[in-house]
Structure 1
Amino acid sequence: MSFISQIGNDRYFVENSWQSEPKSEDKTTYFLKLRRWWKGIDIFEKAYVLLPVHAETHWSLVIICMPAKEDQTGPIILHLDSLKFHSSRLIFNVISRFLKEEWNYLNENVSSAECPLQETVWKNFPRKIEKKAIEVPQQENDYDCGLFVLYYMQRFIQEAPERLQKKDLSMFGKRWFRPEEPSQLRGEIRRLLQKCREAEPKTYATELCVEAEPNDVTQPMSSEHLQETVDAAAAKDHALIECSENAVYCV
């Protein structure tokens, strides 16, 4: 979608999704595996780290707000949930612990002169972490949580300051946007999928040929037949995504 292009800069780092750690795995080993997600990226230098969270068939969003190097404040972890379904306390505990693990890891590999935050903040990092469950517009059904997470991300990226401070939390609230607005992303996603499919019609014509009977494939294809195949591919693509009032679904 259009807002994705704004993420590829030095202000944001977006991880695919966050899931709870497996209980059977050693926590240190799990952290080292998890760390590969941001290999080569110093997350403490980013203004924001966005983590979509998935658990129990529900999506919510965590935003880690890092202070500027000259600030005396620590990072703020925000949790945005369109159903208030996920436990903010549990999520804060997990995210805080992994931030502390990353802090410990960098402390062993980075000199004090290279630390990404103000020196006093960096030395006392575990005690400087703040957490805030954010009041946000709530979904009015039980299936739009993913769209709400995308819309939270879009609006935040559009409106957030260079570095978020406590005083900026007033940007959020139950009236941040109308609850029906995230559902409009469904149409945008549908148009994007159709555009991607229409970009390579020959690919879909080939797919249809593969699906045809062997006797049909062995026969030379006339220009009329080719056009019919391309038209059929386009019709097939159009039918793949249907938009109802409530959901996007495959038919």
Structure 2
Amino acid sequence: MEKNLIARRIADRIHIFDTLFYYNLTHRARESKAQTQNNEPYVLSDRCYNRVKKYTKGTNIFEKDFIIIPINKNGHWFAAVICYPSRDEFIEVIGKYPKRSCICFMDSTQSAHSRCGLAAPLRHFLAKEWESKKTTKKNFSESSMPEMYLKLPKQINDFDCGLYVLQNIENFLINPDYLIERICKDPAINLGVWFSFSSVSSMRRTIKRLIERKSKN
């Protein structure tokens, strides 16, 4: 379905995780009896990574420019976008727009600002994934990959967060390189008029048509 909502010209540059990825990455499962009995040290971030490493089997996310992660917290959906994860520096001028490594949070209630530690699991994942794919170590700290909490159109009810996630992602991917350049120059940039509520309503109708079309195939 997402292929119908994203500009084709950048489809090869993105990777989208499913809706369970962040939960599996952050959920604290109970230790197995074997781990408890052996009393062996086991780092939490390693255990979390082991639960999600299958998601990238056969895929090198560091060949992508944008990694999209849907997140659900307390019944509310929002999204994180990891931008240019393979860049070695915060600013690296390549082509028309500078490539700036960062993690953008897109939340239609702006409540992500008050949630601590959202990016930490993603940084752990990137470090372990880099080590797995590249067999070297790389630092994904906040100094090299800052967090950006975007000021976006706010939802006007308590149930359209999923639609806003899709609309935010679609708008983000229209011209992401230029947008990241603007955001990094001014992290407080106001994107509140990015789209209207009518666009969200239209998104609902689009999804309905896609579901109906898929059910007929």
TM-score under structure 1 length normalisation: 0.63
Query: Is the 1:47–1:162 Cα contact (8 Å) retained in structure 2?
Result: no
SS of residue in 1 equivalent to 2:111: coil
Shift of 1:70: 8.0
Query: Is the 2:152–2:192 Cα contact (8 Å) retained in structure 1?
Result: yes
* Aligned counterparts of 2:179 and 2:206: Cα–Cα separation in 1: 29
Query: Is the 1:76–1:131 Cα contact (8 Å) retained in structure 2?
Result: yes
Query: Which residue number in structure 2 is paired with residue 220 of structure 1?
Result: none
Q: 1:187 aligns with which of 205, 209, 214?
A: 205
Which amino acid is the alignment partner of residue 13 of structure 1?
Answer: H
Which amino acid is the alignment partner of residue 22 of structure 1?
Answer: R
* Aligned counterparts of 1:98 and 1:123: Cα–Cα separation in 2: 11
Q: 2:118 aligns with which of 91, 97, 100?
A: 91
Query: Is the 2:82–2:104 Cα contact (8 Å) retained in structure 1?
Result: yes
Query: Is the 1:68–1:163 Cα contact (8 Å) retained in structure 2?
Result: no
Which amino acid is the alignment partner of residue 158 of structure 2?
Answer: D
Query: Which residue number in structure 2 is paired with residue 22 of structure 1?
Result: 28
Higher RCO (C-alpha 8 Å, min separation 6): 2
Query: Which residue number in structure 1 is paired with residue 36 of structure 2?
Result: none
Query: Which residue number in structure 2 is paired with residue 233 of structure 1?
Result: none
Query: Is the 2:89–2:101 Cα contact (8 Å) retained in structure 1?
Result: no
Closer, same or farther: CA 38–78 of 1 in aligned 2, 3 Å:
same
The structure in which a higher percent of residues are helix is 1
Query: What is the identity percentage for the equivalent residue pairs of Structure 1 and Structure 2?
Result: 26
Which amino acid is the alignment partner of residue 58 of structure 1?
Answer: H
Query: Is the 2:150–2:189 Cα contact (8 Å) retained in structure 1?
Result: no
RMSD: 3.0
Q: How many residues align?
A: 187
**Is there any run of 5+ residues in structure 2 with no aligned partner, and where?**
32-41, 92-99
* Aligned counterparts of 1:197 and 1:43: Cα–Cα separation in 2: 31
Query: Which residue number in structure 1 is paired with residue 132 of structure 2?
Result: 105
Shift of 1:77: 0.3
Determine whether 1:79 maps to 2:105. yes
